[in-house]
């Protein structure tokens, strides 16, 4: 589609969301601690990938909820998630003990991101971040910093810049960490002296849990509840996370679970089949999932997958004659 950078630039100039931005290597050097010379060297090794630009213009998150849900809430993904849970239960329980993040949430993240490590991406991370950081004006500011972060990370870990593979957006490993997250939240969970989110499942599990802990996961509390709206909730949705449950209830929204009146919540609209609409209420932990990926579609998919994984996990235990502890969350 885009044969060269000039055609992409000319197209971009016709689009309302396109704003000029030119990465300053001196600023990127200050941001990342990587020398300008090293950044220039990395840029010289990178290749522009027009297909990445095409993919960025049609992300999964642009789909309607029912379409998006069908991609991730599948029998095969649930069953694989339960298998993953049983296989790595000791590590998952250890991570829960240290971070408060339940196993099913960690499983769901890795399940949605990479189908439990099977699909970690085949793009050169260097090329992906160069393409988006220096050739995609809508997001250049963010991705140019991630490019510099990646060079810093590669130097720290002694990686060959060109050999690291990931998603078209430059995310890496089983949990698809961006370079900044890898630098800040990835942990050596098995204490082998190395942090490896690609091949070390213990590190991947511990790092996802650590990310959630660092972003304020509230152990034992609720995540998301379906809601009914008796009248147009548009104004309530505009309040985003400045909405309280009490205000929501006073304005015609109802949930089966009674959320404390002073609790901060956010009301979301979800597009269903046949042009119907559904609504849901996100609590603090839903917001934490959205720190991982800002799309409410993503957060709801992770939540629903986690529910199915936990239910199937417990079902298999009961079939073996093993008692299951009651599982409930405080609203």
**CA–CA gap between residue 233 and residue 217 (Å, rounded):** 27
Q: Of 212, 133, 215, whose CA–CA distance to 170 is shortest?
A: 133
54 is catalytic: no
Q: What are phi and psi of 241, to 5 degrees?
A: -90, 10
Per the listing, tokens 């972003």 go with 215
Cα–Cα distance for residue pair 250/261, rounded to 1 Å: 10
What residues pair up with 243 in beta bridges, in sequence order?
A: 265
Residue 206 CA to residue 225 CA, distance in Å, equals: 27
Q: Which two tokens stand for residue 88?
A: 């790595």
Q: Give the strand pairing for 165-166 and 224-229.
A: unpaired
- Residue 20, number of CB atoms within 10 A of its CB: 9
Three-class DSSP labels, 222-281: CCEEEEEECCCCHHHHHCHHHEEHHHHHHCCEECCCCCCCCCEEEEEEEECHHHCEEEEE
Residue 75 exposure: Cα atoms within 13 Å on the Cβ side: 0
Who's near 14: CB < 8 A, 6+ residues apart?
none
Active site residue: 96, 104, 113, 140, which one? 113
Active site residues: 113
């Amino acid at each position: 589609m885009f044969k060269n950078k000039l055609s992409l630039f000319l197209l971009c100039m016709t689009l309302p969301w396109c704003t000029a931005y030119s990465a300053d290597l001196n600023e990127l050097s200050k941001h990342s601690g990587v020398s300008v010379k090293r950044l220039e060297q990395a840029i010289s090794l990178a290749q522009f990938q027009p297909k990445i630009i095409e993919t960025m213009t049609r992300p999964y998150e642009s789909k309607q909820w029912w379409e998006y849900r069908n991609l991730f809430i599948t029998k095969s993904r649930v069953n694989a998630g339960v298998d993953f849970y049983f296989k790595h239960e000791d590590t998952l329980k250890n991570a829960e003990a240290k971070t408060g993040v339940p196993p099913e949430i960690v499983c769901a993240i890795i399940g949605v991101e990479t189908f439990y490590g099977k699909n970690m991406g085949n793009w050169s991370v260097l090329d992906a971040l160069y393409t988006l950081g220096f050739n995609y004006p809508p997001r250049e500011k963010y991705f140019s910093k991630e490019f510099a972060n990646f060079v810093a990370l590669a130097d720290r870990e002694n990686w060959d810049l060109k050999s690291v593979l990931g998603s078209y957006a430059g995310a890496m490993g089983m949990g698809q960490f961006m370079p900044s997250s890898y630098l800040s939240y990835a942990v050596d969970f098995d204490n082998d002296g190395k942090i490896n989110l690609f091949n070390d499942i213990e590190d991947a599990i511990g790092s996802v849990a650590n990310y959630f802990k660092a972003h304020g996961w509230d152990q034992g509390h609720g995540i998301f509840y379906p809601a009914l709206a008796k009248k147009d909730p548009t104004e309530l949705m505009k309040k985003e996370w400045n909405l309280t449950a009490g205000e929501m209830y006073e304005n015609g929204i109802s949930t089966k679970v009674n959320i404390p009146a002073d609790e901060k919540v956010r009301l979301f609209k979800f597009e269903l089949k046949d042009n119907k609409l559904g609504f849901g209420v996100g609590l603090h932990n839903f917001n934490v999932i959205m720190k991982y990926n800002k799309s409410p579609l993503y957060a709801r998919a992770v939540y629903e997958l986690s529910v199915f994984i936990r239910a199937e996990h417990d079902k298999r235990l009961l079939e073996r004659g093993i008692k299951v502890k009651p599982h409930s969350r405080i609203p």
